[in-house]
Amino acid sequence: MAITETVQALVNSQNSLLQLQDRLVNQGEVMKEESLQTFIFDLRDYADSLRVVTDLMEPTEIPTLEVEEISAVLSKQNKWLRELIDTLETLEDNHTPEAFFGLSEGEIRRLKGSLQGVVELNTLNLQDNLTFQRVFKDKGYQLSKTVAPQSQDAKPSFLKRLFGKTQ
């Protein structure tokens, strides 16, 4: 897989995970379960950590994920992240770092280190996902297909009321 295709696949899958995480957060009964809540927030932290590389491109598609697909997505992302790290090492060894979105050698080194940390987060989430899946199934939770939109009539925050700022 080419560099841009790998990054694009990560971007799309990251956005799918973020969408799934939003759907899970909006499920009130799911968020009452502490072990599920912890995993959901860890999933968000992991998806946000992918931004070290995914900010380089825009998503082209955002497939809707189901809870049962988390493991498959995390496994694919792990593979793509390792491919990117290998590619970055090759570019660094060949002294051609600019081939990766015009980054300098130092930026490539920092990105590679960051990606190694993201791989560790990915591995931890893959392990925690087993418990999450089991508890989610055992409790009989169902996930709605869409994210509940924020109400336009929502009460403005305290600071907005205090300073009279509106959007």
Residue 163 domain-assigned (yes or no): no
Whether the predicted pLDDT of 156 surpasses 70: no
In tens, the pLDDT along 6-31 reads 999 999 999 999 999 999 999 878 88
Residue 154 domain-assigned (yes or no): no
Residue 160 domain-assigned (yes or no): no
Angle between helices 70-93 and 105-138 (to 10 degrees): 170
Residue 75 domain-assigned (yes or no): yes
Residue 115 domain-assigned (yes or no): yes
Residue 13 domain boundaries? 3-147
Q: Looking at the 3D structure of the chain, how many domains does it have?
A: 1
Q: What is the pTM of this model?
A: 0.81
In tens, the pLDDT along 89-112 reads 988 888 776 778 888 888 889 999
Band (135; pLDDT cuts 50, 70, 90): very high
Band (155; pLDDT cuts 50, 70, 90): low
Residue 157 domain-assigned (yes or no): no
Residue 162 domain-assigned (yes or no): no
Whether the predicted pLDDT of 132 surpasses 60: yes
Separation CA 65–CA 63 (nearest Å): 6
